[in-house]
Amino acid sequence: MEYITLKNSDLRVSRICLGTWLFGGRRWGKVNTTESLATIRYALDSGINFYDTADAYGEGIAEDLLGRVLAVERKNVILATKTGVVWRKDGTRYIDLSPSHIHEAVRKSLQRLKMDYIDLYQLHEMDPGTPVEETGSALLKLIEEGLVRYIGVSNYDCTSLDRLKAIVPVLTVQSEYNLLKREIEADLLLRCLESGLSVLAYSPLQRGLLTGKFTVSSVFSEDDNRFYDEEFQGKRLLQNLEKIENLKALSRKLGKSPSQVAIRWLLDSDGIDVVICGARRPEQLTENIGAADWKLPEDSFRFLSEVFCS
């Protein structure tokens, strides 16, 4: 396993992080508790020491599952969670980063995780309804109280990131980034490189599309996130599948799977410190871990960058 120290911190983390959105169940099907716990234990045994979750994943389910396994390994793991997304009973959601919500949310997260501090506490999304000064003040108080060590953001644009950075020392930026989703290259990734912020890339396989296992005939139910993903629809899907054929051909040449090559491309990209990989079962995690401890040849890296550039 590859490790890196996040910039401006003492957090030494595995470059492949176990993401736990799938454990939450919402729009990912029914949660299999036994498989989820086995996946977390397998991650530990495989050298993964970095875990990313959120209080919104199953409204606490994912945090609870992590706590069951990781609490006894507290000194050996780095735990990141997020707050801000709140689900209503009708299935809709809103963003709340008010001081009252933050102070209540962090304590509930700690209770579910069975821990007394969080290594990296992240704002899940921007909250247009709360002044950034109030959010920042609440975060600083959590650091003072020893409940949180470092602060990160997720799904933030450059403007909102800059405003928060003026108040709080932001350590990490989490953003969707993969061969098919490269919007952050235009501004956010450059801003992080200039500012010395560590970038955590999530959705490295575009919800499974970059595994190469889907076709134009693939069908998803309405309780599956891929049902709503434009990358899986119409002309966009056809274009993506054409590009993925190039990925599959290169993977065969390298003796790797498409998933491993797609994740490796991220690990070899400038500014990407960590790739957050979701997995339901140990065997899926085995596939992801196969992206570590090797490098893409330079010509292969350039080839993929060009094929997926538009």
> Would you name the residues annotated as active-site residues?
57
Calculate ∠ Cα 27-280-308, nearest 5°.
75
Contact 173, 161 (CB under 8 A): yes
Q: Tell me how far apart the alpha carbons of residues 281 and 213 are, in angstroms, rounded to a whole number.
A: 17
What is the bridge-based pairing of β-strands 50-52 and 16-19?
parallel
Angle between helix 61-70 and 99-113 (nearest 10)? 40
The dihedral through the CA atoms of 147, 151, 157, 163 has a sign that is positive
Residue 6 has what DSSP assignment? P
Looking up tokens 């009252």, which residue turns up? 100
Q: What is the DSSP string of 72-119?
A: GGGGG-EEEEEE-EEE-TTS-EEE---HHHHHHHHHHHHHHHT-S-EE
Residue 105 C-alpha from the chain's centroid = 20
| Amino acid letter, residue 90 | D
Q: How is residue 278 written in tokens? A: 């979701």
The dihedral through the CA atoms of 7, 13, 16, 18 has a sign that is negative
Q: How is residue 306 written in tokens? A: 């060009």
Q: Which SS3 state, helix, strand or coil, does residue 291 take?
A: coil
What is the bridge-based pairing of β-strands 93-95 and 170-176?
unpaired
